[in-house]
Structure 1
Amino acid sequence: MRNSTQQRTYQKLDELADQLPWYVIEYIDKKKRKLSPASLLNYCHDFKIFFEWLVAEGFYAGNIQSIPLRILEKLTAQQVEDFLTYLKFQLQNKDITVNRKLSSLKSLFNYLQNIAETDELEPYLNRNVMAKIEFNDVYEDPETIANRMEGKILLGDEYEAFRMFVEKDYGELFKDNNRILNFYKLNRERDTAMVSLFLGSGLRLAELAGLSLEDIDFNKCSVRVVRKGNKEQYVYFSEQAVFDLNEYIKIRSDRYTISKQNRALFIAAPMGPKGTTRRLSARAIEKIIEKYAKAFGKPSLSVHKLRHSFATRYHAEINDVPKLRRQLGHSSIETTMIYTHLKSEDLKNAISKLNMPKE
């Protein structure tokens, strides 16, 4: 699982980091032990926007790779506020997105002032302007969040209806279009298994995209994933997902004509003159879900909303927030002790209850 997906992410990370100043590359290298490559890739995107803004605003007359530390040390709080205003009004970032980019910069500047040091044991920065900058106040009451989410996630009977739509009804909808119908028939079992696993486990997109055959334990109804922070965890999934995964795996090798060396769980349809097969990318999975969601009548239903749908149903059925947090991988310092007291068997039983019909 790590050897393919993570290697590609690390490659993208290294390519993007090479476009940034040396001290940023050093920061990224130091963080690789603690943060996932996907998180670090997001950091690099944020840094690139910041350094490109510095050049565009005339703070430095060169390429962003050459921006010296003295430029960062001389920035004023007002100039940083100008950058945040640029994010909000020019790039049209929401407050929560501006906060995330600011958090990335705070982490970098903190490293440069308090962790990194020269051969003379001096900090890279003597002055940290980011410490003066406050985050945007972002608050939404539960009712506002619920109202925004309504219509974007699966509720009640829609949960199984969407799975059935992917398994069967989509083909009925396009039965007169041979091109769409044939492509659907080729990938029906695969797509049903993906949707069923999303809805039966609450996995993140990257977690599902990175799965390999050996990560699935059908006996324990669990799957091995690498969560944020490179933490390995076994996550339980529903009996319906077990059934749909088995149906897909039965046809996986012959349908996609793949070699035994290809251990990726979800495979893309053969492409090119040689019919090359490969692991289905995260973006491809997103587009597949978007296709079915639009045809289903819920165009706002995304992969992340499937995760929300799982969480909503789990909470309604089980009503156990600590177990849900562990299932979703929402780890934090405040909840670590809760996780250590959880029993795996209890979590497995909680997932199994999702299969029980209501009286």
Structure 2
Amino acid sequence: MARPGQQQFYNKLEAILTELPWYVEEYIDKKRRKLSAASLLNYCHDFKIFFSWLLSEGFFEGSMKDVPLPLLEKLTTQQIEDFLSFLKFELNNKDLTINRKLSALKSLFNYLQNIAETDDLQPYISRNVMAKIELNSVKEDQETTANRMEGKILIGDEYEQFRAFVANDYLQIVQDDKKKVNFYTFNRERDTAIVSLFLGSGLRLSELVGLDISDIDFKKSCARVIRKGNKEQYVYFSEQAMLDLLTYLEIRNARYKVEKNNKALFISAPMGPKGKSRRLTPRAIEKLVEKYAISFGKPSLSVHKLRHSFATRYHAEINDVPKLRRQLGHSSVQTTMIYTHIKNEDLKNAINKLNMPKD
């Protein structure tokens, strides 16, 4: 079930797909599970510019929707360079924008050559001209990196909304699938505690995976972690993370049938002939975050993006770079400075008010 904002993007996506070739629609369908509707819509806009250019240059006489696959197979590297020059000098696209459009085309052509196949198991195209074209060399400054990151992290109310989604609202998404309902109900407290701890501390995936129960200081709301360089550090986490941890620990031993010698904080469901539970693996945590992110309508959200989300919020509310650097365990302050360039909701709202008509 798409959220209202997402549904608008889906509607626009369906409309633009009616103008594009069938193989583009097939490619987009394959990407729906991994990319947001907004990202897919951007891809389609980029594809439309490319196919429109093909028609304007006389490569094909007909509609955009009917551009055949053999035409793509016969394009030369010089013709693609001409298209990139068109983007730069006719559309005034910057190098980063050109790279984005080129990346979208590279992904499409890669699908046509290496993933899609005909009924007789042949690739859609045997020659991929886009594989021969290099992206522009662009060195991002901190503000550019921050702006690119901003659309992929939790901003403003999304911070609480995502935690609440994992804690409760996900059930509405899977309510018609008994297997998923049972799996979610079994792991709800654990998954909520994991997401809450990421959002409330900014821990790295490896740091969270390695936590034992004895590493948690319940009086001071902090955790003992081993950071990069094998350095030991105590990292503070939020009150909400503490509450979610305590809720999880109330059911941990009985529900997961934890053996006394298993001190891992986060445990997998009992597996194997003997039904033993074990420490959750990094990949298992990545997959559970990915599952909730896709259902939440923000498929680009990952474990690392949860860390970025924490850092962005921390800086917006506290504005203390040295403390944030220590909390995140950065060796260089320059890495931490990226978060000072990400716009927060208060700044956006203040700017929006400047544009409001006066009475």
- Normalised by the length of structure 2, the TM-score is 0.54
- Equivalent residue letter for 1:274: K
Q: Contact 1:151 / 1:298 at 8 angstroms: preserved in 2?
A: no
Give the CA deviation at 1:146. 3.0
Residues of 2 paired with 1:248 and 1:323: CA distance?
29
Query: Which residue does the alignment assign to 1:191?
Result: 191
**Are residue 270 (structure 1) and residue 270 (structure 2) matched?**
yes
Q: Contact 1:290 / 1:302 at 8 angstroms: preserved in 2?
A: yes
- Equivalent residue letter for 1:222: C
Q: Contact 1:171 / 1:181 at 8 angstroms: preserved in 2?
A: yes
**Are residue 161 (structure 1) and residue 161 (structure 2) matched?**
yes
Q: Which moved further from structure 2: 137-146 or 269-278? A: 137-146
Residues of 2 paired with 1:155 and 1:282: CA distance?
25
- Structure-2 change in CA distance of 1:137 and 1:218 (3 Å): farther
Q: Contact 2:325 / 2:333 at 8 angstroms: preserved in 1?
A: no
**Are residue 301 (structure 1) and residue 301 (structure 2) matched?**
yes
Q: Contact 1:215 / 1:224 at 8 angstroms: preserved in 2?
A: yes
Query: Which residue does the alignment assign to 2:37?
Result: none
Post-superposition CA distance 1:221-269 (Å, at most 9, x none)? 1000000000000000000000000000000000100111100000011
- Equivalent residue letter for 2:203: L
Post-superposition CA distance 1:29-74 (Å, at most 9, x none)? xxxxxxxxxxxxxxxxxxxxxxxxxxxxxxxxxxxxxxxxxxxxxx
- Equivalent residue letter for 2:208: L
Query: Aligned-pair RMSD on alpha carbons?
Result: 2.0
Q: Secondary structure at the match of 1:261?
A: coil
- Equivalent residue letter for 1:285: I
Q: Unmatched 5+ residue regions in structure 1?
A: 1-91, 93-135, 336-359
- Equivalent residue letter for 1:149: M
Query: Which residue does the alignment assign to 1:325?
Result: 325
Give the CA deviation at 1:322. 0.4
Give the CA deviation at 1:137. 7.7
Residues of 2 paired with 1:303 and 1:192: CA distance?
13
Q: Could you list the runs of 4 or more consecutive aligned residues of structure 1 that deviate by over 6 angstroms after TM superposition?
A: none
Residues of 2 paired with 1:315 and 1:146: CA distance?
13
Q: Contact 2:152 / 2:305 at 8 angstroms: preserved in 1?
A: yes
Q: Secondary structure at the match of 2:232?
A: strand
Q: Contact 1:153 / 1:306 at 8 angstroms: preserved in 2?
A: yes
Q: Secondary structure at the match of 1:233?
A: strand
Residues of 2 paired with 1:318 and 1:332: CA distance?
19
Equivalences for 1:1-359 in 2 at 5 Å?
Answer: 139-332=139-332
Post-superposition CA distance 1:278-309 (Å, at most 9, x none)? 00001111111001101100110000000000
Residues of 2 paired with 1:321 and 1:201: CA distance?
15
Q: Unmatched 5+ residue regions in structure 2?
A: 1-105, 107-135, 336-359
Residues of 2 paired with 1:280 and 1:263: CA distance?
12
Post-superposition CA distance 1:163-217 (Å, at most 9, x none)? 0000000112111110000000010000000000000000000000000000000
**Kindly, what percent of the aligned residue pairs are identical?**
72
Residues of 1 paired with 2:174 and 2:278: CA distance?
27
Equivalent residues, number: 201
Residues of 2 paired with 1:239 and 1:318: CA distance?
16
- Equivalent residue letter for 2:212: S
Post-superposition CA distance 1:122-179 (Å, at most 9, x none)? xxxxxxxxxxxxxx98631344223311321000000000000000001121111100
Post-superposition CA distance 1:84-115 (Å, at most 9, x none)? xxxxxxxx9xxxxxxxxxxxxxxxxxxxxxxx
- Equivalent residue letter for 1:307: R
Give the CA deviation at 1:333. 9.4
Q: Secondary structure at the match of 1:240?
A: helix
